Amino acid sequence: MGKRQKEHRKKVEARNGRINEEKKIYEKRQREFIMDLIKKEKEKGAFENNTLINPNIDPIIEGPSF
| 6-55 residue pLDDT tens | 999 999 999 999 999 999 999 999 999 999 999 998 888 877 776 666 66
Domain that holds residue 31: 1-46
Question: Taking Cα atoms as reference points, which of 26, 3, 6 lies closest to residue 14?
Answer: 6
Q: Tell me, what's the pLDDT at 45?
A: 81
Whether residue 33 is contained in a domain is answered as: yes
The count of residues in the chain is 66
Q: Tell me, what's the pLDDT at 53?
A: 65
Whether residue 7 is contained in a domain is answered as: yes
pTM for this predicted structure:
0.57
Total tally of structural domains belonging to the chain: 1
Contact 18/12 with Cβ under 8 angstroms?
A: no
